[in-house]
Amino acid sequence: MSLTLENPPALEPDRLRFTRRFLLALLAGAAALALTAGWLSWRLGMEVSVEAQGFIEPQQRHLVKTSLGGLLHQLVVRQGQKVEAGALLAALEDREWQGELLKIDKDLEITRTHRREVEERLGQEQALGLAEVARAQLAGDRAQLQLEQARTEERLDTEAILGLASLHRPAAERWSVRYARTELAQRQLELSMARQRLDGLDIGRRELETLDRTREKLVQDRALLIRRLDQTLIRAPVAGTVLTADLERRPGDYLQAGESLLELAQDHHWQARVLVREEELPKVHPGQQVRLYLRAFPHLEHRIFPGQVYSIAAVPIVQGGGYEVKVLLAPEDYPLACGMSARALILVERGRIASLLWHRLLQQLGRCPGPAFYLPEAGG
């Protein structure tokens, strides 16, 4: 016995129609995704970088040296301490220089006191000498007047006694005239002696000049000692961080003039030394931009540190190992320290995604020179 359907349901055409529509939808979605990806690859950019590991260190290291030889008396810094430019780092023993400075100060005080006494005495003697000269000058003038008066009286008396007719005859000199002439000569002698005593004050002036020269020499010696004492204080030439270890063991050591005491890393000027794998080395060139990630300052909490490739080692660190690349960081105010670990991303190419993929395809096909691929593109 068999059962037959006289009018079977028309299911097959509906399934074909659904399948066809589903496939068309898939193709349309794929096309839309492809177009979207193509549009995004043309509009959006990307960067190709080389990763390297290393550490940071200061760009410049300053060796702090002593200007004088002597015993190291005191150290006021330790390893890792930050100091400002001009800050005191250490001090040498200065008792000898302090003793010489004290002696010079005493000699200067004695010289000043002696000069003040000589100047006062010279002033008094000069005043007395001038007064004596003036008195002798006045006495001489008075004696001159007395002599002229005596001569006039003698002439009048002679004319009265002898008459005008006998004036041609010499008359004996009266006693008053002789006395006046003698008095005048004595006063002139006193005036000459007073002037000689006044001129004799030049000895005191020469003594003052000698004291002035002595004082000038002492002042020069004192200035030299002040410089020497200042040189016993060792100060930081620049702002930076102390790198030298075990400084606490140094006090009491004898330092020669010019001997290095400690090493100072200049602040805000840092560089990174990173190792680049041998197969990545052809991609790296001086001047390329670098992004540094420091473990001590996670970039999500702090920042990414920018830098630039400065130099590339010509030989590997060890045979078959990586090559050392030096990266200069931009000046930073962050409290960086020597030896902090760093991860560097060296930017070797930047551009649109489509352009980069096209260059990659051409390189794989051998139609694009290798080095040209690694030259960074402008824009993007």
Residues in the chain where the model's pLDDT stays below 50 = 1-5, 10-11, 165-172, 370-380
Do the Cβ atoms of 77 and 288 come closer than 8 Å? no
Intervals of CATH 1.10.287 along the chain: 96-229
All CATH 2.40.50.100 domain ranges of the chain, comma separated, are 65-90+233-264
Write the pLDDT tens digit of every residue in 54-66: 999 888 888 899 9
From-to residues of CATH 2.40.30.170 in the chain? 45-59+269-373
User: What pTM was computed for the model?
Assistant: 0.55
User: If you search the block for the tokens 């960086």, which residue do you land on?
Assistant: 336
* Cβ 132 vs Cβ 197: under 8 Å: yes
- What radius of gyration do the chain's Cα atoms show? 54
Residue 343 near residue 53, CB atoms below 8 Å: yes
**SS3 letters across 206-252:** HHHHHHHHHHHHHHHHHHHHHHHHHHCEEECCCCEEECCCCHHHCCC
Pick the CATH number of 96-229 from 1.10.10, 1.10.287, 1.20.120, 3.40.50: 1.10.287
Element (H, E) at 305: strand 305-312
pLDDT value at residue 324: 92
Q: Which residues does 177 contact at the CB level (< 8 Å), separation at least 6?
A: 147, 150, 151, 154
- Per residue, what are the HEC states of 119-148? HHHHHHHHHHHHHHHHHHHHHHHHHHHHHH
Q: Give the amino acid at 26.
A: L
The pLDDT value recorded for residue 30 is 77
| Closest C-alpha among 204, 160, 155, 201 to residue 177 | 155
What's the whole-number average pLDDT of the chain? 77
| Residues 73, 92 contacting (CB under 8 angstroms) | yes
**Sign (positive/negative) of CA torsion 359, 361, 363, 365?**
negative
The upper half-sphere exposure of residue 380, i.e. CA atoms within 13 Å in the direction of its Cβ, equals 17
Tell me yes or no: is domain 45-59+269-373 CATH 3.30.70.270: no
What pLDDT does 1 receive? 44
Q: Where are the alpha helices (DSSP H) in the chain?
A: 12-43, 95-162, 175-199, 202-231, 353-364, 370-373
Phi and psi at residue 377, to the nearest 5°? -95, 150
pLDDT at 289: 92
Q: Which fold has domain 65-90+233-264?
A: OB fold (Dihydrolipoamide Acetyltransferase, E2P) (2.40.50)
